[in-house]
Amino acid sequence: MSEPTIFKRIIDGEIPAEIVYEDEQCLAFRDVNPQAPVHILVIPRKEIPSLAETDDEDQMLLGHLMIVIRRLAEEMGLKNGFRVVANSGVDGGQTVNHLHFHLLGQRNLDWPPG
């Protein structure tokens, strides 16, 4: 059996995090290495390794995560816009094998990204 990811350990309360939102399906917390003044990670409680490994049955969960992200953007006052990023796989820059979305805002986010 593989070791639990850092995100699973946060879900289980083994590692502290600055949680800004949680419900029965997901958890949102501030990134410890923020890339913008607002940098929130939104993760499902269900252990899904990456966006590429979601199933059709995850449709409702993925929609829920997007609504949570929109609500968080409103609460954080991101009126001028924000970016949502989901890295998937090694070439996509994913470093934690637990599906997660980055909510970034309160600065100009140039395109293309790094």
In the chain, the amino acid numbered 77 is G
Residues 83 and 104 sit within 8 Å (Cβ to Cβ): yes
Q: Which residue has the higher pLDDT, 111 or 20?
A: 20
Mean local confidence (pLDDT), 51-62:
97
Nearest in space to 52 (alpha carbons), one of 41, 42, 62: 62
User: Looking at 39, 98, 100, 102, which residue is catalytic?
Assistant: 100
- Half-sphere CA count of 7, side-chain side, radius 13 A: 24
* Per-residue confidence band for 105, with pLDDT thresholds at 50, 70 and 90: very high
What is the structure's pLDDT at 111?
A: 86
Which contacts qualify for 6-14: CB closer than 8 Å, 24 or more apart? Answer: 6/96, 6/98, 7/41, 7/43, 7/96, 7/98, 7/100, 8/47, 8/98, 10/43, 11/43, 11/45
What pTM, to 2 d.p., does this model score?
0.94
Residue 114 has pLDDT above 80, yes or no: no
Active site residue 100: yes
**Which residues make Cβ contacts (< 8 Å) with residue 3, sequence separation at least 6?**
none
> How confident is the model over 56-83, as a mean pLDDT?
97
Q: Which CATH number fits domain 6-105: 3.30.428.10, 1.10.760.10, 3.20.20.70, 1.20.1300.10?
A: 3.30.428.10
**What is the mean predicted confidence (pLDDT) over 83-87?**
97
